[in-house]
Amino acid sequence: MRNALRIFFVGGYISYRALFGFLSLWIFIPTLVLTPIFQILLFAYIGRAAGGHSDQFYVVGNAIQYSSVPCLFAMTQTIAEERFWQTLGPLLISPAGRLPLFLGRALPVIANGLVVAAFSLFAGGLILGVTLAGADWARLAPVLLVAAFSCTGLGLVNAAIGLRVRETAVLSNVFVGILLIFSGANVPLSELPGWMADIGRALPLTHGIEAARAVASGHSLASVRGLLGREALIGVAYSVGGFFLIRFFEVQSRRHASLERV
Amino acid sequence: MRALRLVKSGFTMNLKMVGTSSFFLVTSIVQPIIFATVAFYMFRSGGRSGTLLYASLGAGMMGVWSTTLFGSGGMIQWQRWQGTLELGAAAPPSLALVYLPFSLANAFTGMYAMAATLVWGRLVFGVPLHFVHPWLFVLSLPATVIGLGLMGLVLASTFILYRYANALSNLLEYPVWIASGLVFSTSLLPEWTRPISWALPPYWGIVAIRHAALGGAVWAPLGMVVLLGAASLALSTLTFRWFETAARNRATLSLT
C-alpha cells in the first residue's frame, strides 16, 4: 500500500516535473496563460458580431473549455514523451502497479487544468469587464476542479490511444476541437441539433460549463449538484475506460512488439 | 533563372513534405472546419444567418493564417532538428531565398482551409456560394495567400534565434485572427487596435476576399495586400541577413 502511494504521489510529481522540464516557461506562458485569454476574446467578439449571448457566457465557456488543452495534451504527453525518450519499455516492465502509476500522473494534470481555467476566467473577465464576486469564486472552484478531473479522464483515453496511434498531438487537437463544438462553450446545447447535443452530454466539460455558468450567475452550488454529479460521473467513466484501454494496448504492444515504434 | 528554379523546386519539395504531415492536414482542413462550424452556429443562434458566407470566408482565412504561422514557426525548427539548417545557411543563395519557397508552400497549403470551409459550409449548412465578383475572388485569394506567405517569411527569420519558435507561433495565432477581424468587423474592437489591423496583410486580405464575395471595393484592399507583401519580402531579406549573421557570430544556428 505504501509502495502504491509512493508511486502515486512521487511518481506523479516526478512525471509532472519531467513534463514541465521540457515545457519551459517560454512554452508554458504563451500556450497556457496567454492563448486562452485570446480565445476568450475571439469568441466574445464573434458573439457580439453575431448578436449572441453576453460576454460572461463566452468567458466562462471558453475558460473551462481551454482547460482541455493542458488536460489532454499533458496527460497524453506522459506516455508519448516516455516513448520519445525510450523509457516507456523500462516503465512498463517495472512491477509498479498500473493504477497508481497512471492515475498518479493524472493528479498534477488536473491541478494544472484547474489553474489554467481559473486564471483564464479571471483574466478574460477582467479584460471584458465580467466581474465575479469572492463568493462566486468560492462556488466556482469545485466546479472547475470537477471539470478538470473529468477532462483528464478523456486525456487518459487519449494517452491510451497514444500507445497505438503515434500522432498524439494531432489527436489531442482533434479532441480539443470536438470539445469546442459539442461542449456548449460557445453555442448552448439547446441551440445545437439534437444529435450534437446528445454527443455533447456524453463528453467531459459540457455539464461543468453549464454548472459554472449557473454559479457565475448567482445560483448556489446546491442547485447545480446534479450537473456536477453528472460531470464527475463522466470523468470517472472516461478514467476507468482510459485505464483499461492502457492495459489493453500495453498487452497488445507487447504481443506485436510495437511499444517503441515511433 | 537560377532563383526561379530554386523557388520552384523548394516550393514543390515543401508542398510534398507538408502534404504528408498529418499535423498540417489537421491544421489546414480539420481545424478551420471546426472553427467554421462553431462560427456558423454562433451566427445562426444570433439570428443573422445571412452572414454564413461571411463566417465561412473568415474561418477559411483563419486556417490560411494558422498554416502560414505554424509552417513558418516550424520551418526553421524542423530544419534544425533534421540538421539541414546549416546546409541551407552555407548554400550560395541567400537564406531568405532558400526559405521563400518553403513559406509560399506553407501558405499555399492554407488554401485547402478556404476550400474546406467553403465546401463544408455549402454541403452541411447550405451556405450559398454566389460571389458578386467571382474573378476578383479568384485573384484575391492567391494574392492574399502569397502576402501571408511573405509575412510568414519575416516571422520565420526571427525564429532563427528563438528556440521556442513553436510556442511563439501558438501565441500569434489568436491575436492576428482578432486584430484582422477575420470573423467580425474590426469596428467592434477598441479604437487603439486600428493601426495594428492596418499593418497586417490578413486584414486587407480578408477585406478584399469578403468584398469580392459579398460586394464592395476590391482593388484598394488588394493593393494593400500586394504592398504589404512586397514590404514583407524586403524586410525579410534584411532580417534573415541580420539573424543569420547574429547566429553565426554566436555559433547558435543549431541551438542544440
Cell numbers standing for residue B138: 479568384
Tell me the C-alpha to C-alpha distance, in Å, between residue B27 and each of A32, B106, B145, B181: 19, 11, 16, 20
What's the predicted TM-score (pTM) here?
A: 0.91
Percent of chain B at pLDDT > 70 equals 95
Would residue B210 count as lying in a domain? yes
Which residue in chain B is spatially nearest to A58 when comparing CA positions? Answer: B42
CB neighbourhood size of A115 (10 A): 16
Are residues B225 and B201 in contact, defined by beta-carbon separation less than 8 angstroms?
yes
pLDDT surpasses 80 at B238: yes
pLDDT surpasses 70 at B50: no
Would residue B95 count as lying in a domain? yes
Residue-level pLDDT at B49: 56
- CA–CA gap between residue B196 and residue B212 (Å, rounded): 23
Would residue B178 count as lying in a domain? yes
B61 closest CA partner among B225, B228, B219: B225
Residue-level pLDDT at A262: 53
Q: How many domains does chain B have?
A: 1
Are residues A243 and A99 in contact, defined by beta-carbon separation less than 8 angstroms?
yes
The answer to whether B45 contacts A50, with C-beta atoms less than 8 Å apart, is: yes
**Which residues of B fall within a CB distance of 8 Å from A24?**
164
pLDDT surpasses 60 at B256: no
The answer to whether B42 contacts A181, with C-beta atoms less than 8 Å apart, is: no
Would residue B255 count as lying in a domain? no
Q: Is B179 helix (H, G, I), strand (E, B) or coil?
A: helix
Alpha-carbon distance A135 to nearest alpha carbon in chain B (angstroms): 31
In sequence order, what E strands does A142-225 have?
none
Would residue B256 count as lying in a domain? no
**Which residues of B fall within a CB distance of 8 Å from A41?**
174, 178
Would residue A261 count as lying in a domain? no
pLDDT 10s digits, B54-76:
989 999 999 899 888 888 777 88
pLDDT 10s digits, B114-157:
999 999 999 998 888 889 999 999 999 999 999 998 898 888 88
Residue-level pLDDT at B253: 78
What number is the ipTM of this complex? Answer: 0.89
Would residue B97 count as lying in a domain? yes
Domain of B126, in residue numbers: 2-250
- CA–CA gap between residue B107 and residue B66 (Å, rounded): 9
B157 closest CA partner among B228, B91, B227, B100: B100
B131 touches chain A (CB under 8 A): no
Domain of A6, in residue numbers: 2-255
Would residue B109 count as lying in a domain? yes
Would residue A260 count as lying in a domain? no
For residue A188, how far is the Cα from the chain centroid?
20
Which residue in chain A is spatially nearest to B167 when comparing CA positions? Answer: A27
Would residue A65 count as lying in a domain? yes
- Least confident piece of the model among A8-22, B130-144, B193-207, B229-243: A8-22
Q: Would you give per-residue pLDDT tens digits along chain A (262 residues)? A: 778 888 888 888 887 777 766 667 777 888 888 999 999 999 999 999 988 789 999 999 999 999 999 999 888 887 777 877 778 888 888 888 888 888 888 888 999 999 999 999 999 999 999 988 877 889 999 999 999 999 999 999 998 888 887 778 888 999 999 999 999 999 999 999 999 999 999 999 999 999 999 999 989 999 999 999 999 999 999 999 999 998 898 888 888 877 766 5
pLDDT surpasses 70 at B172: yes
pLDDT 10s digits, B7-26:
899 889 888 888 888 777 88
Residue-level pLDDT at B163: 67
Q: How many domains does chain A have?
A: 1
Residue-level pLDDT at B48: 67
Nearest to B167 among A27, A50, A52 (CB): A27
Tell me the C-alpha to C-alpha distance, in Å, between residue A20 and each of A43, A70, A159, B238: 29, 11, 17, 36
Would residue A262 count as lying in a domain? no
Q: Which residues contact A124 (CB under 8 A, 6 or more apart)?
A: A36, A37, A40, A41, A44, A59, A62, A63, A130
Would residue A91 count as lying in a domain? yes
Would residue A229 count as lying in a domain? yes
Angle between helices B134-158 and B201-214 (to 10 degrees): 170
Alpha-carbon distance A32 to nearest alpha carbon in chain B (angstroms): 10
**Which residues of A fall within a CB distance of 8 Å from B27?**
173
Q: Which residues contact B136 (CB under 8 A, 6 or more apart)?
A: B208, B211, B212, B218, B222
